[in-house]
Amino acid sequence: MTDSEARQLFEQIMALYPDPQPTLHAQNPFQILVAVMLSAQTTDVAVNAVTPELFAAYPTPAAMAAASVTDIAKKISRLGLYRTKAAHLKALSAILVEKYDGQVPANAADLVKLPGVGKKTATVVLSDAFGIPGVAVDTHVSRIVKGLGLVSPKATPVQIQSRLETLMPKSTWIKLHRSLIRFGREHLRARDPQPPSGPEWTFLATHYAPLKGEEH
C-alpha cells in the first residue's frame, strides 16, 4: 500500500466515526491518567466497572497517595495485574503531589517518568486530558498498520506512532487513533477481520494481510 492509498484509507476510516470519543470514563486529567494506566492488558469495559468506586474513594492524587496499596488493590482486584497497578497508582500519586502540586503534567517527558506510564499511556493522556495531538498505538492500531504493510511486522509502538504521525496531518492525529481503535474492534478484528460493506472498501481485501500471532 502506497502512502497516498494509506491516507485515503485512513480518511475513509475517520469518516466512519465523525466524532469518536474516549471509551474510558473519566472526568479530569487525574482520572484520565489513572484509567488509561489501568487499561493496560485489560478491557476498557472492565476498567469502567471499577473506576467509579476507585474515584469516589480517592478523588485526588493526595487521597490516592495517602491510601495503602492493599486498599487500592481491593478496589481494582477484578483487573489484570491489579497488585502491580495498585502500587503504581500510589507511587505516581505521591509524585504528582510532591513534584507537580497535585497536577498531571501536560508533557510526555514528565508523564513517562511516572510509575506504570509508558509512551502509549502518555499519548492518550495528552490527547484526552489536554487536547495535545498524538497517535496512541494500542494492539488494534498496531495490528492494522502492520497488516497493511505500512511498517515492519516487528515494528515497535514508538515506530508505528512515528510512521502514522509522519503520514497524516497533525490535525487528524487524535481522531485517527480513536477511529483506528474503533475500526479494529468492529471490522479488522484479530479473528475473522471483515472490512465494511461497500465497493469503496474492496481494495482492503488485496492490501490487508493480518499477521499470524497478533494480539487481539
Quick one: 27-128 is in which CATH superfamily? Hypothetical protein; domain 2 (1.10.340.30)
Mean pLDDT of 106-132: 96
**Does 138 participate in catalysis according to the annotation?**
yes
Q: Which of 90, 120, 146, 175 is catalytic?
A: 120
Segments making up each domain of the chain, as ranges: 1-18+134-205, 27-128
The 10s digit of each residue's pLDDT in 206-215 is 899 988 754 4
Q: Which three cell numbers stand for residue 33?
A: 491518567
> What pLDDT score does 215 carry?
45
> What pLDDT score does 1 carry?
85
Assess contact for 35 and 24: CB atoms under 8 A: yes
Mean pLDDT of 93-111: 98
Residue 216 has pLDDT above 60, yes or no: no
Nearest to 37 by CA among 110, 86, 71: 86
Question: Of 41 and 156, which is predicted with more confidence?
Answer: 156
Q: Which of 75, 90, 138, 146 is catalytic?
A: 138
Alpha carbon 67 to its chain centroid, in Å, reads 27
Residue 19 has pLDDT above 60, yes or no: yes
Mean pLDDT estimate for the chain: 94
> Domain 1-18+134-205 classified CATH 1.10.1670.10?
yes
The 10s digit of each residue's pLDDT in 25-70 is 999 999 999 999 999 889 999 999 999 999 999 999 999 999 999 9
Residue 117 has pLDDT above 80, yes or no: yes
**Does 120 participate in catalysis according to the annotation?**
yes
> What pLDDT score does 131 carry?
96
